[in-house]
Structure 1
């Protein structure tokens, strides 16, 4: 037999963990010296230890691990447990993938800082425009929160317009507004149209008012990297004594489905004098 230290080294776990497994009845030692209290384990117990570790790595709790090893779960219960864990891991992978994309976008933003200057900002009037739109709610105004909300809205918007026989009459236009007192934002995904609301019953047809004065700049590339361009726009507004008077509209001059890096977007920020 092996001492607890030797068995821990063979199983690549800590002595403390083996003591915990003993305490909860998950892996009892083969023998305990009645005088010293020392625990001893047999080689065949490594198989149970390895199964404990494998099931823990799947994300099961120790209670669930014990139920599996002691045959207290039938096959259907085990499948249900593993399917639930698979769904949890899938959600976690998706969340981590989104975080990774956000980090990559931030890195690219830092690498491109300084390439665009405030000389690229143009002050102009924006005429009123009629759009057909669908909306969704994002957790915040940050790109990692906006992207997953707005991206599915446009294909659905175009599908509904096509079903109604309505053709876009100009570029796509996205705009935003607070959803309430918190950080949530209502995302408006629209496209320019020349129709009456009754002609497109499955979408909202709204008239965006004219913007008397807008600070505008053209962003090239994916909207996941728009922060650097918005930073230039904000710096221009600050340096020239203006103040932002609402959220910027995004006018998709060139919308490249499946190739966002080729997109061209004009940011139109309403401004007024301080």
Structure 2
């Protein structure tokens, strides 16, 4: 058998941790010297120690670890838990990265406050447009919510259009509408054909609008600065928004979004 110090070294844990596991009943020593109180462990207990550490690092509480071990979890089940936890951590990392990108975008907007050039805004009529579209739901209007939803929608829409023998008739377009606290995201392509049976996409006629527009250059994660410029122009010129906001992707680079060119269109009316 091994002393607690040697067992700690072999298990790559601290003596303090082993004492805590003993106190909570998670890993009781194989033997305790009655006179000295020294704890001794055997090699077979390393297997239980490995499971304790693995489950704890997966995010389980010590009480949950104890329950799982009492149910005699096998290696296959532990591997399944690891895969699930890995997926959860990857999702959390992606969410954290998106939040950080959102904070950076907001900071860039804050840094440019007072320097918005509303001369870039153009008021113009936008003709009615027929589009084929897919729709999905995002948790909010922020880029961190919109981008993960809308980006994969266009390749899927292109695939469905090709399968239906429909050729796009212009640049991609997106528009948004509220859905309670969430947002319905519409990803569309102009088409010259009407709806027909068997199509796995919708065909929608967007109405003509009078729109305040601005051309946004760069990543759509930075679009909020351009939207604030539009908002300033709309307010300064006595207009108010009506209908849905649209984005027309004049130069779309899915692999290099920082090179994108997008016209933002906000339908407005006087007064």
Output the TM-score relative to the length of structure 2: 0.80
**2:249 matched to 1:252?**
yes
Give the 3 Å change call, closer, same or farther, for CA 193–50 of structure 1 in structure 2: same
User: How far apart are residue 41 of structure 1 and its match?
Assistant: 4.9
User: How far apart are residue 128 of structure 1 and its match?
Assistant: 0.7
* Deviation >6 Å, runs of 4+: 43-50, 67-71
Partner in structure 1 of residue 9 of structure 2: none
Distance, in Å, in 1 between the alignment partners of 2:198 and 2:73 is 55
Distance, in Å, in 2 between the alignment partners of 1:194 and 1:156 is 19
Partner in structure 2 of residue 96 of structure 1: 96
CA contact (8 A) 1:68 1:78 kept: no
Describe how 1:43-62 pairs up with structure 2 within 5 A: 51=50, 52-53=52-53, 55-62=55-62
CA contact (8 A) 1:171 1:191 kept: yes
User: How far apart are residue 125 of structure 1 and its match?
Assistant: 1.1
User: How far apart are residue 174 of structure 1 and its match?
Assistant: 0.6
The Cα RMSD (Å) is 3.5
**2:206 matched to 1:235?**
no
Give the 3 Å change call, closer, same or farther, for CA 151–74 of structure 1 in structure 2: same
Partner in structure 1 of residue 186 of structure 2: 188
Describe how 1:34-113 pairs up with structure 2 within 5 A: 41=39, 51=50, 52-53=52-53, 55-63=55-63, 65-66=65-66, 72-111=72-111
User: How far apart are residue 67 of structure 1 and its match?
Assistant: 6.3
Gaps of 5+ in 2: 5-11
SS, match of residue 198 in structure 1: coil
Partner in structure 2 of residue 132 of structure 1: 132
Give the 3 Å change call, closer, same or farther, for CA 39–241 of structure 1 in structure 2: farther
Give the 3 Å change call, closer, same or farther, for CA 160–77 of structure 1 in structure 2: closer
Distance, in Å, in 2 between the alignment partners of 1:199 and 1:169 is 21
Partner in structure 2 of residue 206 of structure 1: 204
CA contact (8 A) 1:172 1:251 kept: yes
Distance, in Å, in 2 between the alignment partners of 1:261 and 1:240 is 31
Distance, in Å, in 1 between the alignment partners of 2:75 and 2:41 is 28
